[in-house]
Amino acid sequence: MAVILVVWLTGLNSMRVIKTNIDGVVIIEPRVFGDERGYFLETFSRERYRKEAGIMHDFVQDNQSWSRRSVLRGLHFQKEKPQGKLVQVTSGEVYDVAVDIRKGSDSYGQWVGVHLSDENKRQLWVPPGFAHGFVTLSESARFDYKCTDYYNPGDEYCLRWDDPTINIDWPIKFPLLSEKDARGLLLEELP
């Protein structure tokens, strides 16, 4: 029993961090330990995520959403108190998108998209200053995320999911949108 414990503890020290085309946005593939009984993985460790993924922020709020197929949520952001988000899917599959809306940034208006699922167990780090959203590709999906600042409904905005200047290559053409998300702003209209 003690030998197995040592193997698990030493194995926890590694995860794969994949850089994207936008500086600061990274995909994280946690190390998964599994056998015929199931699996175990560590979804967050402050010191390791700081050291290996460069996430220097502290998290103050955890959120979870559930969506059915074709639901698109986003692209949301807060202006005065921007939230960084460490996101993952614990059931189902989504296509997750982060758009750089930091004025003056070299990658302003550019986006990163990644498939997140309960099978691939990937996480996406979306730094503060990005609009974020996802569309559900499976029958349903449970989406969990850690935030670096508190949700403030009076400070929340929505970037239009189909803004032609950003030109996100969503995997579906006719998503189900909330009324708020359907009225999202174009990049040129952001406050």
Is 157 in the active site? no
Per-residue pLDDT of the chain (191 residues; tens, 9 = 90+): 333 332 333 344 579 999 999 999 999 999 999 889 998 988 999 999 999 999 999 999 999 999 999 999 999 999 999 999 999 999 999 999 999 999 999 999 999 999 999 999 999 999 999 999 999 999 999 999 999 999 999 999 999 999 999 999 999 999 999 999 999 999 999 98
Q: What is the pTM of this model?
A: 0.89
Q: How far is CA 28 from CA 42, 86, 151, 174, in A?
A: 12, 9, 24, 29
Query: Which residues, listed in sequence order, are joined to residue 112 by a DSSP beta bridge?
Result: 98
Among 49, 57, 76, 95, the one annotated catalytic? 76
Choose the catalytic residue: 49, 95, 132, 145.
145
Residue 145 appears among annotated catalytic residues:
yes
Residue 105 to residues 108, 111, 161: CA-CA distances in angstroms? 5, 13, 20
Q: How far apart are CA 110 and CA 18, in angstroms?
A: 18
